Amino acid sequence: MWAFAVDLTATQAAQLLGLNRKTVNRYYRLFREAIHAHQNRQIAALVGVVECDESYFGQARPRGVPGPRERGCGTNKQPVFGIFERGGAVFTQIVPDVKAKTLQALIRGKVSLESVVMIDGWWAYDGLVDVGYDKHFRIKKYRKEGNPFTDGPVHINGIESFWSYTKRRLARFNGVRVNFELHLKECEWRWGKDPDTILAELRRLLG
């Protein structure tokens, strides 16, 4: 549990603790399944100021396929939708696509109508007013000259910070080709917590 809390890989934990890597992986999976179940029980609507954004996970280019590295929509990467409640929780969901019907259904299911919603310029967010979200702000990530900027409180820096953290962390596990959802929910649960807090919460989850 300590090795998991400080985010050692199964190989690192096995070497440090003198255990078989398969044994460590078996325990790690039990921990992740408990975390996954816990995160899925958090069904309360997100309130206050929330940031919504989509991201993509997977190989930038399939091995052996020539051409430039691909990014974003239109690639073979797995799309994931995220909602961050400022000062609170983050929610993620693996989605089949990033169309308006898909993303707006998740927003309606997870975000209170009283919330202030921050979104980027992706067309799938068009029409949020029509479904009751009259307090939402759309940001532009770049000025015309290409320089990033933040216009006061109107930004999605929080959810973008979460995407950055998650991709850096998953890179340590070679992109996590299997059990991606377990690892995604683990990142959702870990984000912003120190190892002591993670260990204490893990102990509570496991009873």
Residue 4 pLDDT exceeds 60: yes
Statement: residue 178 has pLDDT above 90: no
Question: pLDDT tens digits for 65-87?
Answer: 454 444 455 567 899 999 999 99
Residue-level pLDDT at 95:
97
**Which one, of 84, 79, 92, lies nearest residue 52 by Cα?**
84
The side-by-side arrangement of strands in the sheet containing 90-94 is 90-94, 78-85, 49-57, 116-119, 136-138
Measured in residues, the chain has a length of 207
> What is d(CA 198, CA 14) in angstroms, rounded to the nearest whole number?
20
Chain centre distance of CA 86: 14
pTM of structure: 0.84
Query: What is the per-residue pLDDT across 114-133, written as a single tens digit (0 to 9) for each?
Result: 999 999 989 999 989 888 89
| Tokens read off for 162 | 């979460």
Q: What are phi and psi of 140, to 5 degrees?
A: -115, 125
Question: How is the chain split into domains, by residue range?
Answer: 1-41+193-207, 44-61+68-175
Domain spanning 44-61+68-175: which CATH class is it, in words?
Answer: alpha beta
Judge whether 94 and 103 are in contact, CB under 8 Å.
no
